[in-house]
Chains A and B, each alone.
Chain A
């Protein structure tokens, strides 16, 4: 373990699902690093492989998925070399995950209090005073009457309440890296903002790093230090958040931004990316070529490599390859 090692280093991560007769390559060679206390935004359309990337890192994909990587290192330690049981011990306390669907994230037969108590037990905390600790954490995530929530069953609480409780459960384990998978997708605007604020406050307090999966560029810009844009299972652009949002390099990122900007202004005509997302990417060349407005003959033949255009900001596009 060296002091210079990033918190998480992922190199050439691939995840493939064996389907009926055909393989679905959900993640194709994703590489990125996350530094201690930093937030990396993983953005892209649905089906681009964002969630699968998070689940693959945590080894939570179902058995019919196969995952490979040149290197997945946590604090310089190679995770791929760990047995399932060794890796299991890192989950929750080192690498935590906030899931999209808070209602399904709790066991419907158990009270919220049970979930939080078991989380504290998992961390090795003082189980005798779990109620005080869980109550404090619920208050921290904006629940004013923790006792009521602790005694409630999941079906008795609203989606926003459950998402807060879920976040509290993850925070109770004090992970150094939190994978947040669209944690506010099913919530209304106000609750969304509150929850983002409390995630940020907690991050500032404990210095956790976050891999923030979202399709919302506005959220990514407000929350993230760096942004990685995914398309068809590949990271097509990665760089500092401001640079990616102000000077996007990849035509897909440019299109995504234009769409997002046109949505923000009610008077503007809706900018749409041509073509359909989520199609099977071509065998050869650039995956985005069929939808790209700058497409060249070479794009259909040669697969572009990640090219650094300015320090820390690169894209996978032949336009930028020298």
Chain B
């Protein structure tokens, strides 16, 4: 009972941390944008805009108010889910609507990439550890180093040349939304997901292999063998089960690469997602749109990290 209550407290603390980080992140994005070069009025109206038109634009979006006031106003809206309207890109369109139309694509690509990275790394990591020191291990480890060293944008073009243009296996550009056709989304999303997944899969594989090899030499593994438990039982319950703890922790740490990955890869593959929307918004100095996109990304990463924390606490009783 006491343990349960303290578990609840800790969960509440973690959740409080998530909210605090989201706030700080939102503030950082807000002020960094305004500290940068460029003017949304010029981006929306063009270089030839008259001073009157610019003034009218700035007045309409209240860009001349003190920054703290603008931030407070934006925050109050964001807290209730109202991100305002896009200034430049889709002038006047509610941002919530824009995000709602783009987010599912990005979530799909992100989840797809994560699923690929996890399945590749589980297979490669376990095989490499079981065949430690042999050819398969060397191949998997080398592939992992390669995967970690390859930038996603470069890998994207390699995949397009090899699998799309060369072999014609996948489309090189464009993405079918999962709401339109799930199978189509799986097919057209494969290359972008793979481009994002490859470096993560490599990092996960290395982590899992190292964790498995390290766990193999723990005393309790030898004790389990001394009791006559079978190799499969020992591997599943004493080795793999315990190696999952660092493995899942690393997944939580690497999820931020999903964010960076989608931003770049969506542009290259023409995926109509939140990442490409944010890039467009940033180029156009569409302040509220960039802020909203960044906040959504941030919250997504925090939610995944939060979930990973909970899973880790489940896996490791010493941390619960």
Contact = CB atoms under 8 A, between A and B. Distances in A.
A168 interface: no
Interface string A24-66: 0000000000000000000000000000000000101010000
A58 to B, nearest CB: 6
A92 B227 contact: yes
Contacts of B10: none
A247 interface: no
B62 interface: no
A99 B219 contact: yes
Interface stretch (B105-113, B237-245, B258-266): B237-245
Most buried by B among A90, A107, A118: A107
Interface string A88-100: 1111110011010
A106 B221 CA distance: 8
A110 B237 contact: yes
Kindly state the interface size class of chain A when it binds its partner. 20 to 34
B79 to A, nearest CB: 40
B238 to A, nearest CB: 5
Interface string B282-310: 00000000000000000000000000000
Contacts of B242: 107-109
A104 interface: yes
A318 interface: no
A101 B237 CA distance: 20
A83 to B, nearest CB: 13
Given A99-B219, A106-B220, A109-B315, 5 more contacts: A108-B318, A109-B316, A118-B227, A153-B318, A173-B228
Interface of B: 217-220, 222-231, 233, 237-238, 241-242, 245, 315-318
22 contacts: A58-B226, A90-B228, A92-B229, A93-B228, A96-B226, A99-B222, A99-B223, A101-B219, A104-B218, A105-B223, A107-B224, A107-B242, A108-B316, A108-B318, A109-B315, A110-B237, A110-B241, A118-B229, A122-B229, A153-B318, A169-B227, A170-B227
